[in-house]
Every structure is written in structure tokens, then in C-alpha cells.
Amino acid sequence: MSPLLPAICPPGWQSFKGSCYWIVSNINMLTTWHEAATTCSGMSSMKEQSWVETTSNVWTGLNDLAIPGLFMWSDEHIVTFTYWAPGEPNNHNGFSEDCVEIWNDKSCTQLNNYVCKMKSL
């Protein structure tokens, strides 16, 4: 698809730079990282799902669950861009912070909003 054309997305999904994003930003819909991952997977059968940055306190697919210190996207896309907040990632207070909100590593069991991504139709 030409990058000049807007992505065609299912109802409720937002088009941005050739992909579609489902943004869950609701104080009543906070979830753990794994719950967010499950929900994102269930919303689409399409490949190459991942999450991206929008605002803070939003889970992304970025995590270092497999290898501590090596952050990877949940859809196994290579990490080509990071924008860590100053001092992050820091495994704060020695806790295992293996999931990433914008742009801070955080315990996966804490509650956040989240964003799903999929390729345009």
C-alpha cells in the first residue's frame, strides 16, 4: 500500500501510518500486560499485531520476559526505536519489571490501558 494513502481499518480502529490501532484508554478498563496481550490477540486474526506508543501509562508489546535486559516486541518485530524516559529501564527497586509502558519498564501485573496494532485491511 502506498504510504500516501490512509490505511483501511475495521470499525473502531484508527488509521495511522499505514497500520490500524485499537486504543483502550479508559480508567475502568485497566488490565495487566498479559490480559492486554490476550485481548489484543482476540480482537484480530491478522498477523503482525503489536502495540505502539501513544500516551503514557499505556502497555505496549515491548517486554524482556524471555531474556532479562533484552527488550523485544510481542509480535517478534525487531526493536528499531526506543525512547526511554530518563533512568529507564531500571527494574525499579529490584522488582522484576519485564513489561513496558511508554517508556518505562514496569511490573507486568500492574494495571494500565493499552494499544493493539494490526496491519491495514
- Closer to Ca ion by Cβ: residue 44 or 53: 53
- Closer to Ca ion by Cβ: residue 20 or 105: 105
Give the x-and-dash track for 49-88 against Ca ion (CB under 5 A).
---------------x-----------------------x
Concatenating the DSSP letter of every residue in 65-86 gives SSSTT--B-TT--------PPT
C-alpha cell at 9: 481499518
| Phi, psi dihedral angles at 33 (to 5 degrees) | -60, -45
- Closer to Ca ion by Cβ: residue 39 or 91: 91
C-alpha cell at 83: 525512547
Q: Does 101 bind Ca ion (CB under 5 A)?
A: no
Contact 39, 31 (CB under 8 A): yes
Stretch that binds Ca ion, among 8-16, 34-42, 50-58, 97-105 (CB under 5 A): 97-105
